[in-house]
A and B are shown apart, each in its own frame.
Chain A
C-alpha cells in the first residue's frame, strides 16, 4: 500500500471521527442546554418558594402582632366589662345599706359587699400582674377599719378552712388603730394569698393571723402581720428562694404552691409597694410563719370629718352637678345618692352629650366616666377644658374603675382634677362633692341641726353607720336593747356550763351591733374575746369576760340615752 493511499485512508478516518465527535458535541450541547433550562426553572421555583415563605412569615408576624394587640385590648376591655357589673353589685349593696335593715340583713349585705370587693380586688390583680412588674401599679390608699376588713376576709375563707378541718384565728393587738390609711386591696390580696397558702398546706390545724404595731426609731408606725400555720412546713432549700419570681429551678415550689407560681412574688412586690418587708420561717413537720410589714398612717379623729367641711359652705347660689356616665347601674347608684342628698344634677350618657350640656349650663362639678361610647371621658374632658366657655374651669372628677397610675395620668393629662375610683362608698362620694362643689347640703344641714343634741360619739356613730339616718339608727338601737338582756343571760348560762363555742358565737354576733350602738370599746373587747377563745386561750378570755359584763352594764344607760334622742327626732 502506498503512503499516499494510507494517508488518504487515515485522513478519511480522521474526518469521520471528527464528524462523529461533532455530532456527540452537538448532542451534549443540547443536553447541556436542556439541563440549564431545567436548572433555571428550578431556580425560579426556588426563588418563588422563598418569596412565598417570606411573605407567609411576614403575614404571620403581622397576625401575631395583631393578636397581641387584640389581646391587650381584650384585657383592657374585659377589665372594664367585669368591673362594671361588679361595681353595680357593690353599689347596690351600698344602697341596700342605706335602707332600714335589721342586724342579720345588715350582716348579709356586708358579706355580699365584701365578697364583691374581694372579687374586684382579685380581678384587678390578675389583670395588673404585668403592671406590677412594670412598676406601674399605684398605691390607692383610703381609710378603713382593719378589724372589720380582716374579719370579713376570714369569714370568706372560713368555708375553705373547714374543708381541711382547719381553724382560722385572728388576733389584732389593741394598739392597732381603729382606722388606718392604707391600700385595702393590696393588704387583702397579700393576706388572701398567704392565708390561702397556709390553708392549702395544713390539715386539722390552726392558722393564726396576728396583727401588731411596730414603732421604728423615728416614731413611724408599721403594722406587722403574721400568718402562722401548723402545716407540713417548707424545706430550707425551698424557703430561701420562695419569694423569687418563678424560675426553672423553682419548679418544685410551683408544683406545690399551684397556680401561676407568682403568688408569693406578687406578695413581695405588693409588700414593697406598701413600704414593707416580707419573710418566712418554717420547720418541716411543724409549720410555717409568713410575716410582712406595711407602712400605714393611723387616722385620728372621727370618720365624719368630710361632713363637717360641708357645713362651711358659703351660701352661694349652688349650681348643678353634671353626671356623665353610660352604665345604667352605676348611674342608678350615683343618682340615688344624689337624690337622697337633694343635690341638683344633670345627666349625660356619653361624652358628646356632656360637651353639649356644658355649652348651655355652668356646673359646679362634673363627674366623668372615662370609658363611654361615642366620645370617651378623656376626649370629653379635653373638649370641655379647651372649648367650653362656661365650664373650662369647672372641677372634673374622673369616675374610673382603674387603679392604675398610667390610666390616672392619662386622665389628668386630659384635664381632670381628681379621681373617684369605683366602687366608691357614699361617704367617699360625699367628700368629693364637698371638696369641690359649692352647694347647699340640705341633708347635712338637717343633720347639723341634729348634732346639737347628739354628743360627739353618738354623732360619729350616726354618720358612720347610718349616714345620718336616725330612723335606721333607732331601729338598730331598739333591737339591740331588746335582745341585750337575753344575750347576757345566755352568756351567763354558757359560762356556767363551760360551753365556750357558744360564747364564741355570741361574741361574734354581738360585735357589730355593739359598735353600731356606740359601744366601740366593747365591740373590740368582744372581738378579742372571740379570737382568744378560738385559739383556746380560755383563761385569758374569761378574764376579759369578767371585765366585759360590768362594763356593758355601766354603758347601757348611755345607749338608753342615745335611744331617747333618736326617738325624739
Chain B
C-alpha cells in the first residue's frame, strides 16, 4: 500500500484525536515499518488493518464508519493535490467513471507497485449510476466515503445504496441515485 494512505491516515487520526493517538497506534501494534512512512514509499497493507482494528476497538467505533470518515479526509487531499482530474469532469458520474479508466490508470503508471481497486460501471443514466467495487483489500467503506465527498464536490445531492455481493466483501455494488 502506498505511503500516502498511511501518512494521510495518521493525519486524519491526529486531526481528530491528537498525535498521542498516532503514537499509541504505533506503540501498541508494533508495525514492521516502525510507523515511519513517506508518501512515495510502499508499506505492508496489514499495518493499516492493525491500526484500524486497534483504533475501532479502543473507540468502540464501527470500522466502516471510520473508513468512511477517512474517505472524506482523503478526498479533500486529492481534490487539493489533483485538481486537473476534477476539472476534467463536470459531474460526479463522469468523474467516478473516470477513476477506473483514467485516474487510477495514471496512478498505476506513476507507482507501478500501487494496489488499486477495480470499478466497473454497470449502468448509467442521467440520475442513476450502478458501479461495482472489486478489491482484495475490501476497502469499500473507504470508497463509500470518497463517493459521498465526490457528490458534494460537484454540488450534487443523492443517495448511495451499498450492497455487498458475496460473503467476503471483496465485491460491493454502489447504486447512486441523484435527487
Contact = CB atoms under 8 A, between A and B. Distances in A.
B85 interface: no
B32 interface: no
A39 interface: no
Which of B20, B26, B38 gathers the greatest number of chain A CB atoms within 10 Å? B38
Contact of B40 (A6, A10, A24): A24
Contact of A17 (B19, B20, B26, B36): B36
Contacts of A13: 26, 34-36
Interface in B12-46: 19-20, 23, 26, 34-41
A6 B39 CA distance: 22
A378 to B, nearest CB: 74
B40 A16 contact: no
Contacts of B34: 13, 16
Interface residues of A, number: 13
A1 B41 contact: no
A28 B37 CA distance: 17
A20 B19 contact: no
A21 interface: yes
B38 A10 contact: no
B23 A20 contact: no
A9 interface: yes
A17 B37 contact: yes
Contacts of B26: 13
With most chain B CB atoms within 10 A of its CB, the pick from A9, A13, A18, A24 is A13
Contacts of B37: 17
Interface string B98-122: 0000000000000000000000000
Contacts of B35: 13
Contacts of A1: 20, 23
B40 A9 contact: no
A21 B6 CA distance: 14
Nearest to B40: A24
Given A21-B41, A24-B41, A10 B23 contact: yes
Contacts of A20: 36, 38, 41
Contacts of B40: 21, 24-25, 28
Contact of A21 (B19, B20, B23, B38): B38
A6 B37 CA distance: 17
Interface string A184-211: 0000000000000000000000000000
B15 to A, nearest CB: 15
Contacts of A21: 38-41
A198 to B, nearest CB: 74
A6 B38 contact: no
Contacts, number: 30
Given A13-B36, A20-B36, A6 B23 contact: yes
A21 to B, nearest CB: 4
Contact of B23 (A9, A16, A17): A9
Contacts of A9: 23
A76 B40 CA distance: 78
Nearest to B20: A6
A21 B36 CA distance: 10
Contacts of A6: 19-20, 23
A10 B23 CA distance: 8
B36 A10 contact: no
Nearest to A14: B36
Nearest to A20: B38
Contacts of A24: 38, 40-41
A13 B33 CA distance: 11
Interface string B64-86: 00000000000000000000000
A16 B34 CA distance: 10
Contacts of A16: 34, 36
Nearest to A25: B40
A288 B177 CA distance: 85
A24 B42 CA distance: 10
Contacts of A25: 40
A17 B37 CA distance: 6
B21 to A, nearest CB: 11
Contacts of A10: 19, 23
Nearest to A16: B36
A24 B39 CA distance: 10
Interface string A110-130: 000000000000000000000
Contacts of A18: 38
A13 B35 CA distance: 8
Contacts of B39: 21
A13 B37 CA distance: 8
B51 to A, nearest CB: 14
A415 to B, nearest CB: 81
A277 to B, nearest CB: 74
A21 B42 CA distance: 11
A13 to B, nearest CB: 5
Contacts of A17: 36-38
A24 B23 CA distance: 24
Contacts of B19: 6, 10
Nearest to A28: B40
Nearest to A18: B38
A16 to B, nearest CB: 5
Nearest to A13: B36
A234 to B, nearest CB: 66
A317 to B, nearest CB: 106
Q: Which residue, of A18, A20, A25, A28, has the highest number of chain B Cβ atoms within 10 A?
A: A20
Most buried by A among B20, B34, B35, B36: B36
Nearest to B24: A1
Interface string A20-57: 11001100100000000000000000000000000000
23 contacts: A1-B23, A6-B19, A6-B20, A9-B23, A10-B19, A10-B23, A13-B26, A13-B35, A13-B36, A16-B36, A17-B36, A17-B38, A20-B36, A20-B38, A20-B41, A21-B39, A21-B40, A21-B41, A24-B38, A24-B40, A24-B41, A25-B40, A28-B40
Interface of A: 1, 6, 9-10, 13, 16-18, 20-21, 24-25, 28
**8 shortest A-B CB distances, which residue pairs?**
A21-B38, A16-B36, A17-B36, A17-B38, A20-B38, A24-B40, A13-B36, A24-B41
Given A6-B23, A13-B36, 18 more contacts: A1-B23, A6-B20, A9-B23, A10-B19, A10-B23, A13-B26, A13-B34, A13-B35, A16-B34, A17-B36, A17-B38, A20-B36, A20-B38, A21-B38, A21-B41, A24-B40, A25-B40, A28-B40
